[in-house]
Amino acid sequence: MYVGRIVAVGRTPKGHNAVMYRVSSRSFPNRRTVETPAGLAVVPRKGHEEDLSKNPYIAYNCLRLAGEVAVATNGSQTDPITEKIASGMSIRDAMVQALIALDYEKDNYNTPRIAVAVARDADEGWGGIVRHDGLHVRAFPLEAGKCFYFATYEVSDPREENTSAFEAVTAEDAAEWIVSGGAFAGLEKPVCAAAAVAGPDGFATAGFTVEATG
């Protein structure tokens, strides 16, 4: 099944909170995850920079940290959500304000904007989506070895029944997990991913890029 971009929030089997993001794409598969001074970003692979002239939404910061909070999204909303949280706003309010201000992407598919966030020691994670037909922001109770996920298509409602086993330990494991682990293994067209996993000194982050096939 193809569901487009995916976000997930959960807790590792060892009890560490995490967020994950995955690019799945049929139209622009030539992308990769890179580290930047701000966090992790999705950008075109070398030699495919001209794709930006076809769709300006395909490159963005996808994962950033706001102190003790990790934020992952499928677009430019990463930055205002992170900055609002860093200024002292609650995760819920930061998501609502940023998503409603930016609205869904005005591309050929009216692509929804999706986001997840979690504080390092919290017992709940947050997810939000703005579509052409509505806005939904909610909290998810965190359990060890489990994550909640939703996507731009098909599973585009943040519901508690959209869950996967989550057996990652490190941020590197988590970035690969949302590509090929648990419920994510059956979702089509993976391109790249990013993840943040909490530890005693804050969040560790990592990216993962699927090997090019063509």
Chain-centroid distance, C-alpha 125: 13
State the DSSP H helix or E strand holding residue 193, giving kind and residue range, or none if neither.
Answer: strand 190-199
| Domain membership flag for residue 214 | no
Q: For the chain, what is the domain count?
A: 1
Which amino acid, one-letter code, is at 82?
T
Assign residue 124 the CATH number of its domain.
Answer: 3.60.20.20
Query: Domain containing 92: what range?
Result: 6-209
The pLDDT, as a whole number, for residue 114 is 98
| Domain membership flag for residue 28 | yes
| Domain membership flag for residue 1 | no
Cβ atoms 118, 69 nearer than 8 A = yes
- 212 pLDDT band, cuts 50/70/90, is confident
Q: Which of 45-59, 74-88, 91-105, 169-183 has the lowest mean pLDDT?
A: 45-59
Distance CA 45, CA 213 (A): 13
The pLDDT, as a whole number, for residue 108 is 86
pLDDT digits (tens, 9 = 90+) for 129-183: 999 999 999 999 999 999 999 999 999 999 999 999 999 999 999 999 999 999 9
| Domain membership flag for residue 170 | yes
| Domain membership flag for residue 14 | yes
Helices (H), 159-201: 171-180
State the DSSP H helix or E strand holding residue 86, giving kind and residue range, or none if neither.
Answer: helix 78-86
| Domain membership flag for residue 182 | yes
pLDDT digits (tens, 9 = 90+) for 12-31: 999 999 999 999 999 999 99
